[in-house]
Structure 1
Amino acid sequence: MESDKDYKNAINTAVRMLSRRRHTSYELEQKLALKGFNKDCIRFAISECKRLDYINDHQTACHYYQELKSKGYGCVKIRLDMKKKGISQEQIDNIFLKYYNESEELETARKVLKKKEPGLNREKDSRKKKEKIYRFLSYRGFTGIIISKLIHDFDKNY
């Protein structure tokens, strides 16, 4: 049986976690469970944090999307990482409908590739260079369409 102290401890722990960085409800639930709180205390703490607007999954998802985009990641990686954070598929789709722009992603991929260019220039074989470009951009989460466009540009310029 939980006491008022258990509920207060769960809320205090949740607030401390949220004061350091944004968390989704899912992340907060996982972290509180790791701290040993039971499900009732966790549910209560999360509902209180939501009621007090300390936690907002939609705002956190938007912030996370912008953060990953600014770090030079493509839509595939952003979607995957958002899913790992416990953001619902519906929220992810809505954020992409609102913010995603293919031409911006192409420009981001160009910038990321430009930073990688000195290492690529050491490769003499054109085919191997294209393979490295493909692997690198794929790892960064860019779609095959974006990667193909950049490789096509690479063919025209080299």
Structure 2
Amino acid sequence: MGTTGLITGLRRQSGNRRLVGVYVDGEKLARVTVEDVASLGLRRGMEVSEALLSEVMRRSALVEAKSRALRLLARRSRSRAELKRYLKTKGFDQTTIETALGQLERLGYVDDAAHARAYAEQLAARGRSGPRAIYAKLRQRGVAAEIAAAAAEEVLSGADQEAMARRLAEKRLSALANVDMPTKRRRLYAFLARRGFDPDTISGVLADLLPADD
């Protein structure tokens, strides 16, 4: 098997001292970890075979995928599915993506349960979303059904959902002042349903706010 050049430099990266730039024939070829350098036995003057080149590039792609994912996570929490979609748009192959995300999960950077709880708490704090709406928004972010359901239930377990729905309905009623009662009832029901409240909660609120004899 032929060689593709000689390693002419192994330089620690200024932004991250755990990463090493690999230079072949004077040109920077890749970035790998310090551990990669040791496990592959990389050294200056070493001939780079096609097999070694392939492995260096594979590990370099893994480094880049993790770096991109971490930069995205620095902006806000993301689900595993969101990160997977993002890395795919950046051209990483499936194996690299799965390996990178698996490593980040083991390190605690990717945690769908924690992400779901945090986002559900954020939505619940706004006081405008019921459990179904929170569940749906988590699913839109790619959170697994069972994790989304558990997060929605957990953050709203101590909340008075009927009181929350009533506050929203009372605000909405001002915009329906000139609407006949059947239409008002129908629109208010649809409004609360879109907010993610269950039928029993909605019916209770409507019974309190809209007298049956109107």
Q: TM-score, normalized by length of structure 1?
A: 0.87
Q: Which residue of 1 aligns with 2:168?
A: 112
Q: Which residue of 2 aligns with 1:86?
A: 142
CA deviation after TM superposition for structure 1 residue 128, in Å? 1.1
Is 1:8 matched with 2:63? yes
Is 1:129 matched with 2:178? no
> Are residues 21 and 119 of structure 1, via their aligned partners in 2, closer, same or farther at CA, if it must alter by over 3 Å?
same
Task: Render the CA deviation track for 1:60-103: whole Å, top value 9, x for unaligned.
Answer: 01112112222311111212222222222222343345333386
Which of residues 82, 85, 95 is equivalent to 2:151? 95
Q: Which residue of 1 aligns with 2:195?
A: 140
- Counterparts of 1:137 and 1:102, CA distance in 2: 20
* Secondary structure of 1:3's aligned partner: helix
Q: Which runs of 5+ in 1 are unaligned?
A: none
- Counterparts of 1:53 and 1:141, CA distance in 2: 31
Is 1:149 matched with 2:195? no
**2:124/2:155 contact within 8 Å kept:** no
Residue type at the aligned position of 1:105: Q
The range that moved more, 84-93 or 8-17, is 84-93
From the two aligned structures, give the one with the greater helix fraction: 1
Residue type at the aligned position of 2:154: K
Task: Render the CA deviation track for 1:21-75: whole Å, top value 9, x for unaligned.
Answer: 1111111111111221111211122122212221211110111211222231111
Residue type at the aligned position of 1:155: L
Q: TM-score, normalized by length of structure 2?
A: 0.66
Q: Which runs of 5+ in 2 are unaligned?
A: 1-53
> Identity over aligned residues, as a percent?
25
- Counterparts of 2:175 and 2:154, CA distance in 1: 35
**2:133/2:195 contact within 8 Å kept:** yes
Q: Which residue of 1 aligns with 2:86?
A: 31
Higher relative contact order (CA 8 A, sep 6+): 1
- Counterparts of 1:143 and 1:132, CA distance in 2: 15
The range that moved more, 135-144 or 108-117, is 108-117
- Root-mean-square deviation (CA, aligned residues, Å) is 2.2
